[in-house]
Structure 1
Amino acid sequence: MNHPYVSLFRELCARWVNRGRSLAASAGAQSRRLVRATLHGMRHPTRRGILLALAALPLFVLAYTLALVPFTPRLGDIRKARVDRPALILSSDGKVLAEFKPVNREWVTLDQISPHVVDALIATEDHRFYQHHGIDLQRVAGAALHTFTSSRQGGSTITQQLARNLYPDEIGRAPTLTRKLKEAITALKIESVYSKDQILETYLNTVPFLYNAYGVEMAARTYFGKPAAKLNVLESATLVGMLKANSAYNPVLNPDRALERRNTVLQQMVKFGKLPPGAYAWLMRQPLNVNFEPQAEAVGSAPHFSAQLRRWLTAWADRNGYNIYSDGLVVRTTIDSRLQAMATQAVAWQTGQLQSIANGAWNTRTGCWPGNALFQSFIRQTAEYRSARDTGLSDQATIRKLAMDASFVDGLCHSKTQIQAGFVAMDPRNGDIKAWVGSPDFHDEPFDHVQQARRQPGSTFKAFVYGAAFADGAQPGDTIVDRNVAIPLKGNAVWKPTDAEPPTGRPMSLRDALAFSRNRVTAQLMQREGPAKVAALARAMGVRESPLDPVPSLALGTSPVTLREMVSAYCTIADRGAYVEPRMVTSIEDRDGNVLADFPAARPEQALPAGAALKLVDAMRDVVDRGTGSDIRTRFGIHADVAGKTGTTQDSTDSWFILIHPQLVAGAWVGFDDARVTLRNDYWGEGAHSALPVVGAFYDMALRARVIDAHEQLAPGRVTPRAPRAHKRHHFLFWNF
């Protein structure tokens, strides 16, 4: 194509390319000349060049400072910073369950802080505090002079330190110009928003001390066993002295350094007129008189539930522009404070009983001794073992050395053999979580055995196998021969389930097989229904987070699940096959009572046909009437219309029991964190004797207190069974609800 316009276009393009090359070459030459000139100017400075450079420097700093302003905290955020209004978590009956504080702090007003603290702080950290507006230019100049003379000195005011304490991420702590400018900008903003007294109050309430103590109030309680208002001048000087370096001047671990630093603070107080000169000579000779007691953070009555809720609420607040620590949110939860107290008491009672059994089975003469191969494996997992091996000791030499350390052995044995438990109760009608206990003691074991722990559910999983069969038209009276079975698996493997009792060779009804938890019959039923169908039903009914391996042994609960999932799924059984997603929160309000968000109960999803659910309930009644869960009737004397299922895994590693009532479904898991540890007693390891008493005691209290109705029926027309004569009636001792 040889069109004249095309030729013209090509010529213009060629000219622009040549022009660009020429300009680039010219620019390159000018840049090189500029660089050479700059270098020449630096090697041979002129007076004019020096003056221009000095004049440009402030302008550069000013421009850079203005550019940093958008990257510092906003005035609105600074106004909120000194308002300690943590989210308030309430039970469904209006009781306080928890407050969501960012740290272990008790905010106190300035008039609740000893004036000696304020005097010591100002004298030591910022004696011109009342004369500047956030930045002490005299101190900055002095610090700069010392820096140029290779003797670094801090120039930060109390306000600048407060800026760092409040916004460590936005400002940072690196010794850079950027950090100092951000700190100065934020300090000026703070001074524009707060009065001097407010700055002091905020500083003293937010400054961190050691041992999880934040603010002067918690520090006063931690180190001197008294409130901040009652600190004397010596105690005040000690705490203020720690601000320079908490660890270095820790009065507990470094008393000599702390004493020296305290006396330095006293000298500063004398220097700036905060202390009479004659008092120093006597004060400096006084001991620290530390009364050390770390302050445990208040965890509330439902700590594991609150921990789960905090994560959920934080995400909600972030999405909706709220702060859970300062906006004063009021969160109304589904927890019933009475049921929560009953659950906590039941868990503590039963785990205390079981712990005495565990202590007898695991002590330095039986389980916890170096000759036990399992205990040796515990030793090999410790940091002490690894440190000893790093020195060149052999495995056996290390084992022998550590075994001679009685405190090490006792501590290791204690940590490995503590009975753990989880308990959760839900309302099957709306999914409301009414009680949640994640461990016997939150301080000792914050790990949550309701939501975080995945354990094999054992025979409690059989409910899904029988539910699938009833959905396919089977009846509780249908029979399967109780016989030995061998079920082929992939790779030429064979699964042969067993029971404690030998096979009878006779037909057994599905009702009896479920009541007495027969594995052989359940395995045959699983073959008939298919693992995939059973797994799908379990997911539909509530086991929605844990993966389920669709293999034949799934019938006996070989796939680990959470207690929360299992109780939710049993709620589906109680609610005639309708799954309702568990609910933790009903509403969120602001501090003035205005509703910010409502959370109605989820819409039910029919996971199991209602007819099949009623058959399953009827069969599970027999578990507590005459089967493996009969202690509910005989030991705890519960007459209400309830149904349930026990569960015990191989070697009694995991013990389960779940009980359903029309208004409440509750389940418990009992075991050890290390699955290799057991009670070493088949009787006490069974779910009927370890997990069931937790649930039984809980329902006993709930029914006696009339929190739930003893006359409610799981199905219409059911006659409430008369409890058999109790051969050993359980008496749960202290009801205070």
Structure 2
Amino acid sequence: MAKTQQKKKKKSQNFSRYLKWFWGLFFSGVLAFFLLFLFAAWGVFGEMPTFERLENPQTNLATEILSSDGETLGKFYLDDNRTPVAYEELPSNLVDALVATEDARYYEHSGIDARGTLRALVFLGQRGGASTISQQLARQLFVGVRSKNKFQAITQKIKEWVIATRLERNYTKEEIIAMYMNIYDFNYNADGIRSASKIYFGKEPKDLRTEESAVLVGMLKNSSLYNPLRRPELVQDRRNTVLSQMAKYGYLTNAQKDSLQSLKMDINFNPESHREGLATYFRMYLQRFLNQWVKENPKPVSDDGRETWNIYLDGLKVYTTIDSRMQANAEKAVAEHMKRLQAEFFHQNTSLRNPTTPFQDLESEEIRLIMERAMKNSERWRKMRAEGKSEKEIRASFTKKTEMTVFDWNSETQEKDTVMTPLDSIRYYKTFLRAAMMSMEPQTGHVKAWVGGIDYKHFQYDNVIQGARQAGSTFKPFVYAAAIDQLRYSPCDQLPDNQYCIEANKHGNPEPWCPKNSNGKYSGEMYTLKRALANSINTVTAQLIDRVGPKPVVSIVRNLGLTREILEVPSIALGTPDFNVYEMVGAYGTFANQGVYVKPVMVTRIEDKNGTVLYEYTPETKDVLSKEVAYAMINLMEGVTEGGSGTRLRHNTRGEESVYKEIITGYPYEFQNPIAGKTGTTQNQSDGWFMGMVPNLVTGVWVGGEDRSTHFKTIVYGQGASMALPIWALYMKQNYANPELGISDGEFIAPEEMTINTDCTKKIDSIIQVNDLEDDLDDLGF
């Protein structure tokens, strides 16, 4: 009996000891666990984010460029192409897919899922991990890539737990989801859900369908592995897993799940880069504009420590005047016409037809100097020189064949892979004609479309604003405007088409100037100013500048925004000064805006990431001409499209016999509405211009080679009516096809009181009657 009691007592003591050990270990574990959390919170395992950083986590945000119709034209960023969206902009199917797949008990925990954590510990992660959405966000924002070192990995996990609980205290569940979707890198510069939905599906997040949201949520597991472009089958399987999870947790019915899983994965890939997309040339102009604005506008004191705004990191919003629809129309018109024009240029400039192709009428030494200059201005020369290479080594590299991708109109991607020397590639690119186009609303100065070249990736020189070329006959309206303004001429006044010379030393002319017409002939006829401008009669323009003088012409030109140095000599009347498309459109806009010059504007507002307005533009205007003079000029230039060099805008020449091929005239334009305009062609057909106006849109187009010696041999193809006018016509056809754009097809507004005669019919009839009387008197012997 005593032995039995002793045994029971011993067992009881042992049990008590075990119980003490158990609770000791248990509380020690809890204490250790607590201390780990405490040490992590104190930063023992590495720096922890402060309360301020938790409140304002620093993420690099791209600057977004917005069109006037609310579309994203592009972004400026270094590494992170991120534009955040609010939770309200996320579709419910995306949120449901995220919760069902990544954290089914998301709305039940406070940052740490206890059940998931125990499951992960017991089964060593074999039945799924335990990272909640909050923990994943903590890792993305503050912890970083998981270390391969086990101890560091454990401490990182503890830090995630601590930060996750802090995030849960600082933010709502909805805010955490939005932050997580905005931070994730989906590859291909798709940083955050906004970029991802645009790049992979070509739409805003709010427009994502359920199966598309499932693709993006599936990529959250590992966007490099689940890459829709490289591993579409794997991604589709992952998408279907996400859909199954949504059905499992009641977000979809089984029937919906089965229907969605049977759908083909439809990726609409739209890469976003600085060299691709819409309005590339305009975006590069805007980049220069913003860099200058940043220098002139210091940033308010902020916690990021930067004293100036950073257009690649600060998430600015730039509101522009560009209309994405009109921009697309402009780019399409340039591409369509230039492809055809280039084909004809290649046809006429084979080595047999032109031994010096792509140059015209140059000696071999002149060609060598052009190539030498191009070689020294090239990016290859600059880089090799910066690397310390000798000139001999650099020159040798230009004659060594290498693999490269070059521009090609005939390729579907407008690129082809080839092997050639860098020197040959320079000559190859000089064979391509370039183009520039800008379209502006004259009443506001808002620029609606901007095309600086044929392909930004391969031709980065912006001919809208960087290039300046001779204006040719597009300068003549300024001479006519001075004559009407200063001498009170009217479109109906007449001058003869005879040889006309301005003597030496008159108007600062060093020697006699006797301009010829483009055909080298003089008709001897009397021309109204309207008819003379329509047919670009040089002799009439020479008489006008002789009578009004070069100085008043230059004065008006400068008031029209053409501020380059211009010699005050008579020869400027035929367009010898150089201007760019930007300047010319602004100047012509004055005619359409009843004599008021409005400086072209491209940016209306800049906001920071919180919507605070940092910049708002103020219109720059100047009264240059009276309403009467401006309207008289419009009337003059309407003659260009009614009976002059722009008449082809009124006809359908397809199928008609013509000296031109379909490549040039085979477009069924058939415009019926009032159009004012002016074509321009420079010496040797080096430049072709067309300036076209309707009441609420002024558009300028230039076409030519990189070098003036690259041009068509004859004026048939080398004139502005053949090179530039078709681009304007194609562009306007597309604009008129979209009534939402509101492009005017009505009459130009005439002043209420018009003392300048613009109706030449009556005056012409009276002149005919006088001539008839003179003939009768001659017959009678008087």
Please tell me the TM-score bracket, short chain as reference.
0.5 to 0.7
Letter of the 1:353 counterpart: R
Matched, 1:711 2:746: yes
Matched with 2:529 is: 510
Distance 1:410 1:575 in 2: 48
CA contact (8 A) 2:401 2:420 kept: no
SS at match of 2:579: coil
Alpha-carbon distance, 1:375 to partner: 4.5
Q: How does 1:348-359 map to 2 (within 5 A)?
A: 348-359=335-346
Matched with 1:565 is: 583
CA contact (8 A) 1:88 1:100 kept: yes
Matched with 2:441 is: 427
Matched, 1:477 2:492: yes
SS at match of 1:680: coil
Distance 1:446 1:601 in 2: 29
Matched with 1:325 is: 312
The superposition leaves residues 231-258 of structure 1 with CA deviations (integer Å, 9 ceiling, x where unpaired) of 999x99xxxxxxxxxxxxxxxxxxxxxx
The superposition leaves residues 676-725 of structure 1 with CA deviations (integer Å, 9 ceiling, x where unpaired) of 21133321110011100111111122123223131243436999xxxxxx
SS at match of 1:97: strand
Matched, 1:91 2:44: no
Alpha-carbon distance, 1:363 to partner: 4.2
* Change in CA separation of 1:377 and 1:323 when aligned onto 2, cut-off 3 Å: closer
Which of these residues, 560, 563, 588, is aligned with residue 541 of structure 1? 560
Distance 1:390 1:488 in 2: 49
State the TM-score, normalized to the length of structure 2. 0.56
Matched, 1:519 2:538: yes
Distance 1:81 1:379 in 2: 53
Matched with 1:452 is: 466
CA contact (8 A) 1:84 1:107 kept: no
Distance 2:484 2:56 in 1: 59
Q: How does 1:642-653 map to 2 (within 5 A)?
A: 642-653=675-686
* Change in CA separation of 1:393 and 1:605 when aligned onto 2, cut-off 3 Å: closer
* Change in CA separation of 1:391 and 1:309 when aligned onto 2, cut-off 3 Å: closer
SS at match of 2:438: strand
* Change in CA separation of 1:597 and 1:400 when aligned onto 2, cut-off 3 Å: closer
CA contact (8 A) 1:574 1:660 kept: yes
Which of these residues, 266, 271, 278, is aligned with residue 301 of structure 1? 278
Which of these residues, 420, 423, 426, is aligned with residue 407 of structure 1? 420
Matched with 2:126 is: none
SS at match of 2:606: strand
CA contact (8 A) 1:424 1:666 kept: yes
Distance 2:579 2:329 in 1: 25
Matched, 1:605 2:622: yes
Matched, 1:313 2:290: yes
Matched with 1:159 is: none
Distance 1:645 1:467 in 2: 14
Which of these residues, 456, 460, 473, is aligned with residue 442 of structure 1? 456
Matched with 1:341 is: 328
Letter of the 2:743 counterpart: I
Distance 1:682 1:111 in 2: 71
SS at match of 2:690: strand
Which of these residues, 636, 639, 642, is aligned with residue 619 of structure 1? 636
Letter of the 2:280 counterpart: P
SS at match of 2:728: helix
Matched with 1:34 is: none
* Change in CA separation of 1:585 and 1:310 when aligned onto 2, cut-off 3 Å: same
Distance 1:579 1:441 in 2: 31
CA contact (8 A) 1:469 1:529 kept: yes
SS at match of 2:470: coil
The superposition leaves residues 618-652 of structure 1 with CA deviations (integer Å, 9 ceiling, x where unpaired) of 11110110001111212411111221101111011
* Change in CA separation of 1:123 and 1:559 when aligned onto 2, cut-off 3 Å: same
Distance 2:69 2:743 in 1: 14
Letter of the 1:453 counterpart: G
* Change in CA separation of 1:705 and 1:231 when aligned onto 2, cut-off 3 Å: closer
* Change in CA separation of 1:76 and 1:364 when aligned onto 2, cut-off 3 Å: farther
CA contact (8 A) 2:499 2:514 kept: no
* Change in CA separation of 1:129 and 1:607 when aligned onto 2, cut-off 3 Å: farther
Distance 2:438 2:55 in 1: 41
Larger deviation, residues 304-313 vs 366-375: 366-375
CA contact (8 A) 1:81 1:326 kept: no
The count of residues paired between Structure 1 and Structure 2 equals 517
Matched, 1:655 2:655: no
Distance 2:509 2:460 in 1: 42
SS at match of 1:463: helix
Distance 1:494 1:127 in 2: 92
Alpha-carbon distance, 1:393 to partner: 14
Letter of the 1:304 counterpart: Y
SS at match of 1:495: coil
CA contact (8 A) 2:694 2:744 kept: no
CA contact (8 A) 1:483 1:504 kept: no
Contiguous gaps of at least 5 residues in structure 1: 1-73, 133-192, 194-200, 237-294, 720-737
Q: How does 1:56-67 map to 2 (within 5 A)?
A: none
The superposition leaves residues 118-154 of structure 1 with CA deviations (integer Å, 9 ceiling, x where unpaired) of 999765899858769xxxxxxxxxxxxxxxxxxxxxx
Larger deviation, residues 95-104 vs 406-415: 406-415
Alpha-carbon distance, 1:94 to partner: 1.0
* Change in CA separation of 1:417 and 1:130 when aligned onto 2, cut-off 3 Å: farther
Matched, 1:628 2:645: yes
Distance 1:515 1:715 in 2: 20
Letter of the 1:407 counterpart: M
Alpha-carbon distance, 1:304 to partner: 1.8
CA contact (8 A) 1:105 1:205 kept: no
CA contact (8 A) 1:645 1:659 kept: yes
The superposition leaves residues 372-400 of structure 1 with CA deviations (integer Å, 9 ceiling, x where unpaired) of 725444444536999999769999xx999
* Change in CA separation of 1:440 and 1:127 when aligned onto 2, cut-off 3 Å: farther
Letter of the 1:328 counterpart: G
Q: How does 1:685-704 map to 2 (within 5 A)?
A: 685-704=718-737
CA contact (8 A) 2:334 2:454 kept: yes
* Change in CA separation of 1:228 and 1:446 when aligned onto 2, cut-off 3 Å: farther
Matched with 1:494 is: 512
* Change in CA separation of 1:130 and 1:412 when aligned onto 2, cut-off 3 Å: same
Letter of the 1:97 counterpart: L
SS at match of 2:731: helix
Matched, 1:418 2:432: yes
CA contact (8 A) 1:642 1:714 kept: no
Letter of the 1:568 counterpart: G
Contiguous gaps of at least 5 residues in structure 2: 1-49, 85-132, 157-169, 171-179, 200-214, 226-270, 301-308, 403-417, 653-668, 753-757, 760-782
Alpha-carbon distance, 1:548 to partner: 2.1
State percent identity of aligned pairs. Answer: 31
Q: How does 1:196-215 map to 2 (within 5 A)?
A: none
* Change in CA separation of 1:666 and 1:231 when aligned onto 2, cut-off 3 Å: same
CA contact (8 A) 2:594 2:626 kept: yes
SS at match of 1:382: helix
Distance 1:478 1:613 in 2: 17
* Change in CA separation of 1:621 and 1:83 when aligned onto 2, cut-off 3 Å: same
Matched with 2:671 is: 638
State the TM-score, normalized to the length of structure 1. 0.59
Distance 1:511 1:420 in 2: 31
Alpha-carbon distance, 1:426 to partner: 0.6
Letter of the 2:685 counterpart: S
